[in-house]
Each structure stands twice: as C-alpha cells, then as structure tokens.
Structure 1
Amino acid sequence: MQVLRIDDIDGTEVAPGIVRRGLPVTGAARGWVYDFAPGTEWPEVDVHETEERYYVVSGEFVDRGHRLGPGSYVVFAPGSSHQPRTETGARMIGITLTVREPASK
C-alpha cells in the first residue's frame, strides 16, 4: 500500500494554467491529478487509446457539453475523445487503464 498527499507531489505545468501531478503507476493503471486555473482549456482534443476515468474533486469542468462539478465521475471508452475546460478553475483525479496482452498459451 502506498499513501501520499496529493499536494506534496511536485507538479509540472503541461499547458498554460494546467498543472499535472503524477500518481504511482502499476501494471494495470496510471493515475494523475490535474489542476486547471480559471479560464483554461486542454490545449488539444485528447484521444484515448485505452479506457480513461476521472473524478472531479473541486471546481467545475465543461466536457463534451456536460457541466461536471465536485463528485462527478466520468468514464471514457477506448477510442473516445474529449477536451475539458473550466471557467471557475478545477481539480480532477484521473486513471488510465492499461491494455494487458493476453497470456500466451
């Protein structure tokens, strides 16, 4: 078991006003936290090769026509796309599930 405090993780600005904090990676998934400043938008359409999920911790995102506030949980199927933005500023926790190769027989 790993226990950590999100705000103790060093962040990297991945686009103006958007900071990413990487969470521990396993063989099945990788996680991250994104903090969006007010008035920011993901810089390009994000296309998912594998399943992705995110949980809105604070603030409000607008994504694919939906207003997503604290407590919203979003699931994207492989091959789907989106481009989140926020007017208020917001934080999300996301998980990308990795594709596992089937065991050889």
Structure 2
Amino acid sequence: MHQFSYADIVGDAVSLSRQHEAMAMDRAVELLELAKTKGSKSREAIDAVLYLRRLWSYLIEDLAQPENDLPEALRADLISIGLWIIKEAEQIRRHESENFDGLIEINGIIRAGLA
C-alpha cells in the first residue's frame, strides 16, 4: 500500500488546478481569435466576452483569497491585469473597441506562464 504525504497530495492538486486554468486560458484565446475574425458585433464576440468575464471574475476572486499561495505582489498584478481584461472585454461588448489582439496577447502570456 502506498502512503502519500500531504505535500504530495497538495502538490498534485496545485498541478491539476494549473492545468485546468491553462485549459481555460486556451479556450479564452480560441474564442477571442474566432471573435476577431467575425467582428465585435458577432455572436462569437459576445460568447468570447462573456467567457472572459466569467473566467477572470473567478480568477480575481481566487487571487483575492488570503489562502492563495502566490506571492502577494504577483496576486495584485494578476488582479490588475484581470480587471483590465474585463474592462477591455466590456468595451468590445459595447462596440467601443475591437481590441481582440490585446486580449489575445495578454491571455496568451498568462497561459504561457501557467505551463
């Protein structure tokens, strides 16, 4: 019978969580790239914006928790980035912007950081 330490189990959980976050970022980038080809007034743009808002709202909430193990400065930076992403997505939703490239780039960078 195998015995696992608490650190092993927690490490596996963190690794799995990062994989899920990376997959969610992959999906965000996919949706944004499709929306970019269809334009800001398309159904694809609405889907991408809604997905981004839900994803980043969840991430910001998680980053704001004291139990989050990331360094406080990094958490604050990621929260700021998330708020910018939500703001940019909202401008696309209101047809005030078509900054899909900026959103694709930033979400891609975050995704790469999760790898």
Does the alignment reach a TM-score above 0.5? no
Rg bigger for which structure? 2
TM-score (norm 2): 0.26
Higher strand share: 1
The structure carrying a bigger helix percent of its residues is: 2
Taking structure 1 as the reference length, what is the TM-score of the superposition? 0.28
